């Protein structure tokens, strides 16, 4: 049954949007949150286990210190208050993927509370997202439902459980209700999620690959008649795992809820899920008072004591945050907002920075990564990072150009060679014998030949019309297999028409 939707523009005009995000970030610690089982993506099912991660009788959790340090780093990046004493609680519920049938999660005493994140939108607007908390918890295993049509539990004839993921550390970042976003709510949500991704990567605490489930979000949306009205009933769309999906979910929920409210129907407090195929959210379980996780402090774990000294130690090692870094590089490289956004959209910031670090000019690095290489990546359907060319290669090519050893055309051919796996730029150049022809005799001969072939052009040049110069240069290049230096050719042409 298709739900009725209101036009987005009408919905956001008529109703005030309030939304919130609960983002799960999987930490990239070597071992699990409460035991020394090692964590790798894609291991054989049920191989990354200890008695603790399998919840065997008698096993006890012990907190992974690195995971706590990662949480503190994130807390600092999100301007949170880091609690001197935080505590793990048990969230009790029966589910096959929970080895102990309770999750260990911070509840009323999280490590990080009360922060914010400034996110920058496409047009440069900065929006402050208030953060309620960023707490530590362990992940569940993974159920695979076999025999059904679409991999969901309905219709499956049996299910398999893989506990490799059980006990992997997560941080759940919970925003406060985000108000005042209006029709930009989806955009703000997307920018916020990307900012979180950039931050956790910069901190080195998560791979933050959404397609591998390193990051996923629960999206809460509610509408109210006006900004001064009390919050409306919210829907919670669980485990959305792409940036576009999150944006679309908010958009869809705004339209769906607006249509319901317009018809005088109530919004159910329910969990929904985002269906990528239909681009809709579907209703799930209606939340009721019966959901009772019977939280209580986990008696197996002593309270976490985080001293001011320890926080200061971590603070001293904090890397530059992505937004600050972008602003700095933009200034250093003398870029406009638009130019910077092109770089970000192409996911080329790190590559360009590394290329510059390897000796290239910012302009040169940017030209390669956003031009030739972006086209190549597009054609192949891969990311820039996946191309078989490194920032060092690009810097080397740039150096060859600057040293006058390659012209643009040869440089492109050299990069093509690198992409084709022929080796480093130097190796490609050596292999093909690429070099600028410096023999003025040979160039002169080529120019003469070009003059002969294009008498009309020569007339124009002689009369002072320099526009068709390219015709001659092109012909010379062709004759010298691209190895002539365009500047040298121009010089000879000029001397001959005088």
- Chain residues binding other proteins by CB under 8 A are 51, 54-63, 90, 92, 94, 96, 99-102, 159, 161, 289, 292, 294-296, 299-302
Complex with other proteins: residue 116 or 295, whichever CB lies closer: 295
Question: How far is CA 207 from each of CA 24, 80, 303, rounded to the nearest angstrom?
Answer: 12, 22, 28
> Which is closer to other proteins, CB of 98 or CB of 217?
98
Least distance to other proteins from the beta carbon of 29, Å? 17
Cβ-based nearer residue to other proteins, 84 or 291: 291
Q: Provide the angle, in degrees to the nearest 10, between the axes of the packed helices 322-333 and 362-370.
A: 110
Structure tokens at 269: 């407090």
Q: Which is nearer to other proteins, 159 or 339 (CB)?
A: 159
Alpha-carbon distance of 213 to 41, in angstroms, equals 10
Q: 349: which residues sit within 8 A by CB, 6+ positions away?
A: 326, 329, 343
- What is the token pair recorded at 220? 């809460």
By DSSP bridging, strand 235-240 and strand 215-224 are antiparallel
Geometric angle at alpha carbon 131, from 64 and 25, rounded to 5°? 40
The nearest distance, CB 32 to other proteins, in angstroms, is 14
Q: Is 416 exposed, middle or buried (0-12, 13-18, 19+ CB in 10 A)?
A: middle
Q: Which is nearer to other proteins, 90 or 234 (CB)?
A: 90
For residue 486, give both structure tokens.
Answer: 């365009």
Residue 435 CB neighbour total at 10 angstroms: 14
Pick 165 or 260: Cβ nearer other proteins: 165
Strand 85-86 relative to strand 126-138, pairing: unpaired
- Between CA 182 and CA 248 the distance in angstroms is 15
Any residues with CB less than 8 A from the CB of 100 and at least 6 apart, and which? 55
Q: Which is nearer to other proteins, 161 or 259 (CB)?
A: 161
Residue closer to other proteins, measured from CB, 302 or 402: 302
Nearer to other proteins, 62 or 268 (CB): 62
Distance CA 378, CA 387 (A): 10
Give residue for tokens 């003398």.
Answer: 334
CA 105 to chain centroid, in Å, comes to: 26
Give the CA angle between residues 408, 360, 372 to the nearest 5°.
45
How far apart are CB 104 and other proteins at their closest, in Å? 11
Nearer to other proteins, 55 or 130 (CB): 55
Q: Would you give the DSSP letter of residue 140?
A: -
> E strand or H helix at 285, and its extent?
strand 280-286
Q: Which long-range contacts (CB under 8 A, 24 or more apart) does 34-39 make?
A: 34/61, 34/62, 34/63, 34/64, 34/104, 34/138, 34/167, 35/59, 35/61, 35/62, 35/167, 37/167, 39/164, 39/168
**DSSP-based three-state secondary structure for 389:** coil
| Contacts made by residues 190-193, CB under 8 angstroms, sequence distance 24+ | 190/243, 190/244, 190/246, 190/247, 191/119, 191/120, 191/121, 191/122, 191/127, 192/21, 192/117, 192/119, 192/129, 193/21, 193/23, 193/217, 193/243, 193/246
Quick check: 104 and 138 in contact, CB under 8 A? Answer: yes
Instruction: Select 56 or 268, whichever has its Cβ closest to other proteins.
Output: 56
- Which C-beta is closer to other proteins: that of 148 or that of 468? 148
Q: Which residue, 51 or 130, is less far from other proteins as judged by CB?
A: 51
Q: Minimal distance in Å, beta carbon 54 to other proteins?
A: 6
């Amino acid at each position: 049954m298709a739900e009725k939707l209101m036009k987005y523009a009408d919905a956001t005009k008529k109703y005030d949007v309030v939304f919130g995000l609960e983002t799960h970030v999987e930490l990239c610690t070597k071992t699990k949150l409460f035991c020394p089982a090692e964590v790798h993506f894609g291991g054989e099912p049920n191989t990354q286990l200890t008695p603790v991660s399998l919840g065997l009788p008698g096993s006890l959790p012990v907190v992974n210190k690195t995971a706590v340090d990662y949480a503190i780093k994130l807390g600092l990046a999100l301007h949170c208050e880091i609690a001197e004493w935080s505590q793990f609680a048990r969230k009790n519920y029966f589910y096959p993927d929970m080895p102990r049938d309770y999750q260990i999660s911070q509840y009323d005493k999280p490590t990080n509370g009360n922060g914010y994140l400034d996110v920058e939108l496409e047009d440069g607007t900065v929006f402050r997202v208030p953060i309620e908390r960023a707490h530590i918890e362990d992940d569940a295993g993974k159920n695979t439902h076999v025999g059904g049509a679409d991999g969901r539990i309905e219709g499956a004839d049996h299910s398999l459980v893989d506990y490799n993921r059980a006990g992997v550390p997560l941080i759940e970042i919970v925003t406060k209700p985000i108000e005042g976003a209006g029709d930009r709510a989806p955009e703000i949500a997307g920018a916020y999620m990307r900012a979180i991704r950039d931050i956790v990567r910069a901190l080195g605490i998560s791979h933050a690959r959404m397609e591998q489930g390193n990051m996923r979000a629960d999206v809460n949306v509610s509408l109210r008649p006006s900004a001064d009205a009390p919050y409306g009933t919210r829907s919670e769309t669980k485990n959305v795992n792409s940036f576009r999906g999150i944006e679309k979910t908010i958009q869809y929920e705004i339209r769906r809820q607006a249509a319901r409210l317009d018809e005088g129907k109530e919004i159910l407090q329910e969990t929904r899920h985002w269906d990528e195929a239909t681009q809709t959210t579907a209703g799930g379980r209606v939340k009721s008072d019966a959901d009772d996780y019977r939280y209580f402090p986990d008696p197996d774990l002593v309270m976490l004591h985080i001293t001011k000294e320890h926080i200061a130690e971590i603070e001293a090692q904090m890397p530059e945050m992505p937004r600050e870094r972008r602003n700095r590089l933009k200034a250093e490289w003398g870029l406009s907002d638009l130019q910077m956004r092109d770089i970000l959209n192409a996911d080329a910031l790190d590559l360009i920075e590394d290329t510059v670090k390897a000796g290239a000019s910012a302009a040169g690095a940017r030209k390669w990564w956003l031009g030739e290489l972006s086209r190549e990546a597009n054609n192949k359907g891969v990311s820039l990072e996946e191309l078989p060319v490194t920032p060092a290669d690009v810097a080397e090519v740039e150096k060859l150009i600057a040293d006058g050893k390659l012209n643009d055309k040869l440089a492109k051919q050299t990069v093509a060679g690198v992409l084709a796996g022929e080796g480093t730029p130097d190796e490609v150049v050596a292999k093909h014998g690429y070099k600028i022809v410096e023999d003025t005799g040979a160039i002169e001969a080529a120019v003469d030949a070009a003059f002969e072939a294009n008498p009309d052009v020569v007339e124009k040049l002689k009369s002072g019309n320099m526009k068709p110069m390219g015709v001659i240069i092109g012909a010379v290049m062709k004759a010298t297999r691209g190895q002539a230096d365009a500047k040298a050719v121009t010089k000879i042409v000029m001397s001959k028409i005088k």
